[in-house]
Amino acid sequence: MTTTDLTQRLAGKVALVTGGSRGQGAAHVRRLASEGATVVAADILDVEGKELAASLESEGFNVRYTRLDVGDAENWSRVIGEVEADFGQLDILVNNAGIIHEVSLEEETQERWQRILQVNLTGPLLGMQAALPLLRRQVGASIINTASIFGPVGAINNGAYCASKAGLIGLTKTAALEFAPLGIRVNSLCPGGVNSPMTEADPEGGVVPDTPFKRRANLEEISGVVAFLASSDASFITGAEIVVDGGFTAR
């Protein structure tokens, strides 16, 4: 898909994407910018984030990078302050940042457990709290929280990850109810397997054998759903779990 094929349905909107330096986050940054949004990519991967922003700006997109540790409330306050100072608005928040580790429940440690929850669950909470004053000023504001198919279902050796994503789905539904009177939509995105640098070495493994399409999603297939949820085309969708998994959970 080329830039000229895309609509400008997000023109005039400002978006913030966490975990935006690489992988799914970088793809979301590109897609939202391609549809006309001004996008702030936020991450702790400074080199990759700055390179991404510079590359997209050279293509004519309005993208910038800022450092953000999503588990830190002061970081969130600073970044939202920057967005307000630079743009005066925020229309789209994509809580995409996330981490994972694999270990049995028997061998799980409190330190690792807490770190997963801090990034994957507390991070989106802090982000929504910090961004709410700006989002509530806009018409049609949208929050997209990246959960996972391993929120509705379990996965061996992924107890902390599954717990964090199940919690994020519940948090999203509560936020959707509380923010509806403000006109803010809040939805959770539940991807299945996704092609990324982390999965290139194992093209047939992971969830692929149990996915009816027998492959992982391309990054663009996930980002297209993010752009849809961010747009007025999804104006009556809130509190939903949008599953993009090639049929994995249909089993």
Pairing of strands 38-43, 63-67: parallel
- Catalytic residue at 161? yes
Contacts 24+ apart (CB under 8 A), 170-177: 171/121, 171/124, 171/125, 171/145, 172/143, 172/145, 172/147, 172/239, 172/241, 173/239, 175/128, 175/143, 176/238, 176/239, 177/239
**Nearest partner of 10 among 232, 238, 242, 234, judged by Cα:** 232
CA dist., res. 144 & res. 186, Å (int) = 6
Q: Which of 161, 219, 238, 248 is catalytic?
A: 161
**Nearest partner of 169 among 124, 118, 119, 115, judged by Cα:** 124
DSSP code at position 214? S
39, β-bridge pairs: 15, 63
CA dist., res. 215 & res. 108, Å (int) = 30
CA dist., res. 29 & res. 17, Å (int) = 7
- Give the 3-state secondary structure of residue 224: helix
- With beta carbons less than 8 A apart as the criterion, state whether 26 and 20 touch: yes
Active site residues: 161
